[in-house]
Structure 1
Amino acid sequence: MKIGFDNNKYLKMQAEHIRKRIAQFDDKLYLEFGGKLFDDYHASRVLPGFSPDSKLQMLISLKDKAEIIIAICAKDITTDKRRGDLGITYDQDVFRLVKEFQKRGLYVSSIVVTQYEKQAAVERFCSKARRRHLKVYKHYQIDGYPTNTKKIISDEGFGKNDFVQTSRPLVIVTAPGPGSGKMATCLSQLYHENKRGIRAGYAKFETFPIWNIPLDHPVNLAYEAATADLNDINMIDPFHLNAYGKITVNYNRDVEIFPVLKKMFEGIFGTAIYQSPTDMGVNMAGFCISDDAVCRDAGNQEIIRRYYDSRTRFIREECSEAEVQKQELIMEKAKITPDDRPCVVAAHEREEASKTYAGAIELADGTIVTGKTSKYIGACSGTLINALKQLAGIDQETDVIENNAFAPIQNLKTEYLGSHNPRLHSDEILIALALSARTSENAAHALEKLPELRGCQAHITCDISQVDLSIYKQLGLQVTYEAEKK
């Protein structure tokens, strides 16, 4: 696939910039980490060349200087709030994150429970953490947070929170998800450090929006599309423009909260340490775009994928129509339509020609392969097999799966598992291909081509099953589909 982002340059530049930010204070920096530390697939999709674990690798390069605090909101423990991507609760994810960090040699010093109110479920969580030899600190609800800065910056505000004992110059504050209290944890620590005579600093590390590329750049618009459910809006940072006369990009929540943060910094330090939300950030991703055209195209593809995702959520009554309308508005800003996704056009053409549901996969070299529903297989399976044949140099009219491989699987589905659909899903067609590979060189060669599907674009003209969606994702295919067509 075409590369548009220099990942090695990013790792070096990002680590060096964080070291410089640490040195600006008393060799102590609390760094709020937004977004995903592990498996940042959104970034790798819109910045081709960005490794999904780039932020983690950057941290590993600083591991001798860094320690990690994981924040979790007490309310999220009591309500069993779950991560949508992993399907596990926030409290379970805290322990998963601890293991993942420790496995990579990173030091997790403690857990902070924010908005603590002596809830029974929270006490059980704290007990579990201590049994795992993790230090747990408690931060409390502060009346008037975040606007009543006079009370917040006092013994009745941050002063009543536990002071988290840290030992390294860089303190990463992360969490299972948004709303966990990362920023409040950082600010509370600044207050306590300052009372102890340490002028510790604060910075924020979020990859998107990228502050030094245009507001309407597809990569930044793709961030708006990704957060349509939160209604985040990219905007020019007015504080940075006023202070320095320079145009930079930020997003509405940071811009809205900045006057309050500035007051807090003044209350803690006696002066404002930053003049704008952009000043607080340390993101160097914009300097590492090596091919702007590639990243623009990748951003546009992500916007269209997010549009289809919101449309699916709306059909399944998981979001309002306003979210879909926002995605349509973002496409208008980017001056694109779903037809700017080549596999969408190809899939629709195959559907019209075959008079049945169809699909298309755009391979790495730009070749587009289509497939359709038949009596044996669904659109996802047909498209997948045809793509593997194309990659293996096998004629599309050549069968790579033995006819007698279909019947046993179909019989199992309909006679024993109660399915009314005899057509093979993507996992079943791959099993049939693997069975055929024992005796067929063509099947074996097609099977070997599975890794080459990673990063390719796909579209299916109907709703698809969870198992088909799961297989496509496992293969690294970036798929869109039309959930309204059953």
Structure 2
Amino acid sequence: MKKLGFDNEKYLQMQSEQIQNRISQFDNKLYLEFGGKLFDDFHASRVLPGFAPDSKLKMLLKLKDEAEIVIVINANDIEKSKMRGDLGITYDLDVLRLMDAFHDVGLYVGSVVLAQYAGQPAADTFKNRLEKLGTKVYLHYPIEGYPSNIQYIVSDDGYGKNEYIETSRPLVVITAPGPGSGKMATCLSQLYHEYKRGVKAGYAKFETFPVWNLPLNHPVNLAYEAATADLNDVNMIDPFHLEAYGETTVNYNRDVEIFPVLNAMFEKIVGKSPYHSPTDMGVNMAGNCIIDDEACCEASRQEIIRRYYNARCDQRQGRGEKAAVYKIELLMKKAGVSVESRAVVGAANQRAELTGEPAAAIELSDGTVVTGKTTSLLGASASVLLNALKVLGGINHEIHLLPPIIIEPIQRLKTTHLGNHNPRLHTDEVLIALSINAATNPAAELALKQLSKLSGCEAHSSVILSQVDENIFRRLGVNLTCEPKYESKKMYHK
């Protein structure tokens, strides 16, 4: 079993108390910029074993009577159909997903902000869609000279042109589908408008990573750099905090670089900046809740390797740049790891070499590595999934969970009627067939009961998998990596 390295309950308590303290420092109005993912924070759960993916959401639920949520999306991201790589959906669709998720748990979503709005047609369409659903939408515009021309930015022609967001609760959480959405600018724009209205509102930043009170080159912080390699983020010592307090803390380059500008904006908006450093702005208690440092270090080293494979596959598929790969290679050296440190990589590639066909491997929570090969009936990912369920259920390897008499009619349906050239079953098709077979086959029923045990397991494929297979592994909570190559030399890959 993987070791726990993080006390989630302690985190929920400390984090909610810290935010309440920050609200009280201002005029009972705090704009809290939420960096990273407000829920489904699987990166945090991977590098801090014990951190629940919905921890931040649970923390907010402790404050739900005081909090409302504003979701910010960059209008340019809507126009470009920017995707969330972890979920495979566009940012605008993710806004709708986020709204549903918040409503389902009883959190109040006050409005949506379209940042950098300049009449983009797709943004207009999305705005109309939201308004028809009864959601308030506010427009924030590009500001010439942002962020350096402070005199202009903090004026009626700068922030003053943005539509004022009507809010009704003391804690306003500003969140977004992804980075670069305009959360900070939205917070500062609101501060400008609030002070014009006589409300002495405050601003704080909730970024889980980098963890400010861990060393600069701690694997948890290196894993954050690997996760943001495409953004060219770099962790660094906060020089402003060091000068103000004589204390060494960690922040990242964008916050450190923008801090003098932010400070000047605060001074122009409120008369005096409440902060001496970027670290001061944060309310992150994660570093205080690590209970097993080595467990978190090892988990983070594995995350860096996963990010390396993701970056290489993104490059192979035309979604990423070489620079991100090179950066993560350097981070792997800093962390003292290589691809050989990931057990499933060698197992999958060795099986592929022996069979001459794509292969896959899954490492179970007890360290057992299970492999699967490509057959005439099943793809490698489907094979390894069934083999893993057999091991978890103590089912004899020779037993067919899906005998050919069940698989072959599905293959005929795919090729004869649905025009599919590949007759082999994908993971989703295997799971549906297994569910049907479980009605009469006790072994299949036992195998199905093992599915939840796959969450948190590691997997590797010797080739890039189809989107269908990737999605199934993601939904099962399996941490998947792939070699950056395709099974065939075709130009079009589904």
Whole-angstrom distance in 2 between the partners of 1:417 and 1:124: 34
| Paired AA for residue 61 in structure 1 | K
Residues 464 and 483 in structure 1, CA contact (< 8 A), matched pair in contact too: no
Relative to structure 1, the CA distance from residue 255 to residue 406 in structure 2 (aligned partners, 3 Å threshold; closer, same or farther) is same
Could you give the per-residue CA deviations for residues 280-312 of structure 1, whole angstroms, max 9, x where no partner exists?
Answer: 111111111121121111111111111111111
User: How many angstroms does 1:279 deviate by?
Assistant: 0.8
1:37-116 to 2 correspondences below 5 Å: 37-86=38-87, 88-116=89-117
* 1:6 match: 7
Whole-angstrom distance in 2 between the partners of 1:396 and 1:119: 57
TM-score after normalising by structure 2: 0.91
* 1:302 match: 303
Whole-angstrom distance in 1 between the partners of 2:355 and 2:90: 45
Could you give the per-residue CA deviations for residues 427-484 of structure 1, whole angstroms, max 9, x where no partner exists?
Answer: 3333443344344322322222122111111112223222222222222211112131
* 2:208 match: 207
Query: Unaligned regions of 5+ residues in structure 2, if any?
Result: 488-494
Relative to structure 1, the CA distance from residue 155 to residue 425 in structure 2 (aligned partners, 3 Å threshold; closer, same or farther) is closer
TM-score after normalising by structure 1: 0.92
Relative to structure 1, the CA distance from residue 464 to residue 86 in structure 2 (aligned partners, 3 Å threshold; closer, same or farther) is closer
1:324-403 to 2 correspondences below 5 Å: 324-403=325-404
User: How many angstroms does 1:59 deviate by?
Assistant: 1.1
Q: Secondary structure at the match of 1:13?
A: helix
Could you give the per-residue CA deviations for residues 104-125 of structure 1, whole angstroms, max 9, x where no partner exists?
Answer: 2222233333334456665555
User: How many angstroms does 1:176 deviate by?
Assistant: 2.9
* 1:165 match: 166
Relative to structure 1, the CA distance from residue 313 to residue 437 in structure 2 (aligned partners, 3 Å threshold; closer, same or farther) is same
Q: Secondary structure at the match of 1:140?
A: coil
User: How many angstroms does 1:91 deviate by?
Assistant: 4.2
Relative to structure 1, the CA distance from residue 485 to residue 67 in structure 2 (aligned partners, 3 Å threshold; closer, same or farther) is closer
| Paired AA for residue 255 in structure 1 | V
User: How many angstroms does 1:391 deviate by?
Assistant: 1.0
* 2:284 match: 283
Between stretches 438-447 and 50-59, larger displacement belongs to 438-447
Relative to structure 1, the CA distance from residue 20 to residue 372 in structure 2 (aligned partners, 3 Å threshold; closer, same or farther) is same
Could you give the per-residue CA deviations for residues 154-210 of structure 1, whole angstroms, max 9, x where no partner exists?
Answer: 333323333333332211112233333221121122222223333221101111111
Relative to structure 1, the CA distance from residue 337 to residue 163 in structure 2 (aligned partners, 3 Å threshold; closer, same or farther) is same
Residues 405 and 435 in structure 1, CA contact (< 8 A), matched pair in contact too: no
* 2:467 match: 466
Whole-angstrom distance in 1 between the partners of 2:374 and 2:131: 55
Between stretches 201-210 and 401-410, larger displacement belongs to 401-410
Relative to structure 1, the CA distance from residue 370 to residue 285 in structure 2 (aligned partners, 3 Å threshold; closer, same or farther) is same
Between stretches 467-476 and 214-223, larger displacement belongs to 467-476
Relative to structure 1, the CA distance from residue 65 to residue 385 in structure 2 (aligned partners, 3 Å threshold; closer, same or farther) is same
Q: Report % sequence identity.
A: 60
Query: Unaligned regions of 5+ residues in structure 1, if any?
Result: none
* 1:151 match: 152
User: How many angstroms does 1:30 deviate by?
Assistant: 0.9
User: How many angstroms does 1:11 deviate by?
Assistant: 0.9
Relative to structure 1, the CA distance from residue 19 to residue 322 in structure 2 (aligned partners, 3 Å threshold; closer, same or farther) is same
Asked if residue 25 in structure 1 is aligned to residue 26 in structure 2, the reply is: yes
Residues 402 and 436 in structure 1, CA contact (< 8 A), matched pair in contact too: no
Whole-angstrom distance in 1 between the partners of 2:449 and 2:110: 44
Whole-angstrom distance in 2 between the partners of 1:99 and 1:407: 40
Q: Secondary structure at the match of 1:168?
A: coil
Asked if residue 318 in structure 1 is aligned to residue 319 in structure 2, the reply is: yes
User: How many angstroms does 1:406 deviate by?
Assistant: 2.9
Residues 459 and 481 in structure 1, CA contact (< 8 A), matched pair in contact too: yes
Between stretches 147-156 and 230-239, larger displacement belongs to 147-156
